[in-house]
């Protein structure tokens, strides 16, 4: 019997990350970006199944800090988010997709 639990690690393609960085920096400002040196997240996520088939990256959108009263992390039962960032998240996803397709079509 082979039991698989959870999702694999997230692999962020360094070429895609380098290509998307200027697009993201233009949208949110370079001072608001953190590009990590490692390409593998130590957490599993089902989006990793997509990234196993198509090169890409997972973008984490900040939605409140402890200083702003958002004390709990993503999987905590009392987690709360600053929902005002949701339109920005949608705009980032749309603009990144548009610009990447425009540059690679």
Span 32-49, pLDDT tens digits: 998 876 656 656 678 889
Average pLDDT along the chain:
87
3-state secondary structure the chain: CCCCCCCCEEECCHHHHHHHHHHHHHHHCHHHCCCCCCCEEEEECCHHHHHCCCCCCCCCCCCCCHHHCCCCCCCCCCCCCCHHHHHHHHHHHHHHHHHHHHHHC
At 93, is the pLDDT very low, low, confident or very high (cuts 50, 70, 90)? very high
- pTM, whole model, 2 decimals? 0.78
What pLDDT score was predicted for residue 99? 93
CB atoms within 10 A of CB 77: 5
């Amino acid at each position: 019997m082979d039991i698989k639990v959870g999702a694999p690690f997230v692999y962020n393609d360094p070429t895609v990350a380098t290509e998307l960085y200027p697009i993201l920096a233009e949208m949110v400002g370079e001072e608001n970006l953190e590009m990590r040196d490692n390409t593998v997240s130590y957490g599993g996520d089902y989006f990793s199944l997509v990234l196993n088939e198509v090169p890409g990256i997972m973008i984490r959108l900040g939605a409140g800090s402890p200083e702003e009263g958002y004390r709990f992390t993503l999987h905590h039962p009392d987690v709360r988010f600053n929902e005002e960032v949701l339109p920005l998240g949608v705009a980032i996803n749309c603009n990144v997709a548009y610009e990447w397709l425009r540059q690679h079509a």
